[in-house]
Structure 1
């Protein structure tokens, strides 16, 4: 989960609804103020996250000349989703992202953060023709393997199946507050984080939580997809272990890139540096390794 540092939208960033042939999706969007846009960056958030995870990054990407669109996935925060758990397979999430890219004109620069990276990878495997590049941001090759992490996720998913989502959030907050590194956010931010969590469709959040324990490794398939790929993580990312992410990069034939002074949420913690890495990659076709 990424925690915003402010609820004030930067200049030029505004809410918008993205209409696709798979439904409507809530977004935050930023457009360059001058000149012809260089293209579109489509940003997909992760577990318990939302489009707001990219708010400061959108502003920077637009300043570099890119249309930047961050989305809420199906059942996530302000995008409605069905109650049926079968609607939340990785394939369904991935097909949504394909439809989003098509609705935005195709050829998107696709960025997936954390769980959103697994979805973004799935989208590329479904239809690589509608994406120009793929950036895996603080994401891994498959579900987590650490026993304690897996157990915690399984417990949360079970709670979402059986308890009101508000109660699940309160129990999660109580658990998180006992962690030695926990820092209580300002009141406005805390209120938003709670609202975001309880606004999720429970079936969606439960399915995402389970995907983080059982998603399979598709790195080798991605290496053959023909879409130029970048892997970026924060210097102290505490999601997937950095050696695991480095191994993904090696298997893709690319060099991992690190955002200094950032953890699992570089788009919030170091948006300017993250934007610079992204736009440099978008323009650098010399870095393309054709693994086919």
Structure 2
């Protein structure tokens, strides 16, 4: 989960509903002030996240000349989702991104953060023709393998199946505050984090949590998809191990890139630097090619 540092939207960044042939999706969107956009960047949040995880990055990318759209996936925060477990497979979530890119005119630069990277990968494997590039931002090749992480995820999904989502959040928060590295956010941000979590479709959040325990490695298939690829992570990323992300990059035939002074949420922690890494990749067709 990423924790926004402010809820104030920069000038030019505004909420918008994206209509697709697979439903409506809540977004934060920005377009350049001057000239025709260079293209479209589609930003996909991770587990328990939302479009707000990208707010400063949306602004920076628009200033570089890109129409930028950060989304809530189905069942996430302000995008409704069905209470049907089968609606939250990676295949279904990936098909949503294909529909979003198509509705935006196709050829999107797709950026998937953390769990969103697994979904973005699935979208490219489903229909690479509607994407120009894919950036795996602090994401991994498959489910987590750390036993304690898996146990926590399994407990959370069980709780979501059996308890009110508000109670699940309170139990999760009670667990989180015991972490030695926990820093309490300002009251406004704390209220937002609770509202965001409890606004998720419980079935959807439970199933997304399970995907982090059972997702299969599709790296070799992705290497053959024909879409330019980027692996980007924070210097002290504490999601998938950096060694694992480096291995993904090697298997994809590319060099991984690291955002200095950032951890698992570079779009919030270092938005300007993250935007530069992304924009350089979007424009450079020579350095980041697959075999």
TM-score (structure 1 length as normaliser): 0.99
Match of 1:277 in 2: 277
Structure 1 position 121, deviation (Å): 0.1
Match of 1:56 in 2: 56
Structure 1 position 35, deviation (Å): 0.9
Match of 2:268 in 1: 268
Match of 1:90 in 2: 90
Q: In the comparison of the two structures, how many residue pairs are matched? A: 291
Aligned-partner Cα distance in 2 for 1:130–1:226: 11
Question: Aligned ranges for residues 34-113 of structure 1 at < 5 Å?
Answer: 34-113=34-113
Cα RMSD (Å): 0.5
Question: Aligned ranges for residues 9-24 of structure 1 at < 5 Å?
Answer: 9-24=9-24
Structure 1 position 179, deviation (Å): 0.2
Aligned-partner Cα distance in 1 for 2:43–2:261: 22
Aligned-partner Cα distance in 2 for 1:4–1:133: 26
Match of 2:233 in 1: 233
Contact 2:140–2:245, Cα closer than 8 Å, also in 1: yes
Give ranges in structure 1 of 5+ residues lacking alignment. Answer: none
Match of 1:210 in 2: 210
Q: Secondary structure at the match of 2:43?
A: strand
Per-residue CA deviation, residues 178-208 of structure 1 (Å, 9 max, x unaligned), is 0000000000000000000000000110011
Aligned-partner Cα distance in 2 for 1:83–1:178: 32
Q: Secondary structure at the match of 1:285?
A: coil
The answer to whether 1:153 aligns with 2:146 is: no
Match of 2:259 in 1: 259
Structure 1 position 290, deviation (Å): 3.5
Aligned-partner Cα distance in 2 for 1:223–1:215: 17
Structure 1 position 287, deviation (Å): 1.9
Aligned-partner Cα distance in 2 for 1:76–1:60: 24
Aligned-partner Cα distance in 2 for 1:290–1:156: 37
Match of 2:142 in 1: 142
Structure 1 position 289, deviation (Å): 2.5
Aligned-partner Cα distance in 2 for 1:94–1:5: 29
Aligned-partner Cα distance in 1 for 2:120–2:139: 10
Per-residue CA deviation, residues 68-96 of structure 1 (Å, 9 max, x unaligned), is 00000000000000001111000000000
Structure 1 position 235, deviation (Å): 0.3
